[in-house]
Amino acid sequence: MRTRAAILIAPLVVAGALLASSAAKADSESIAPPVGPGQYAVGCSNFSQDFSRLAPSESAQDYWEGNPDGNRPRYAINLLSDLDHSFYLSVAIPPE
């Protein structure tokens, strides 16, 4: 009977030892070097902007910060090149 219990407990002891040894080797402070450029020309095309939509006196920063132009609101979403294929979320902000 003791042999049977030892056979059942042995895999658990081995698994615990393996986990403990791998945890001791893990370094949460380590830094991996960059792997280099990938196969695509850009990292994210879901936020590509079309600056030709700016008027001559406007700056993109006004859109990024949401500064209105009189009664016309300006937001970063207005500069997106391909709004239909961009990920964005509209949130209703309550008045102050």
The pLDDT of residue 21 is 62
Confidence band of 44 (pLDDT split at 50, 70, 90)? low
Asked if residue 75 lies in contact with residue 63, where contact means CB atoms within 8 angstroms, the answer is yes
In angstroms, the Cα distances linking 52 to 63, 76, 78, 81 are: 13, 13, 11, 10
**Statement: residue 28 has pLDDT above 70:** no
Beta bridge partners of 72: 69
Which tokens belong to 93?
Answer: 């902000």
The pLDDT of residue 24 is 54
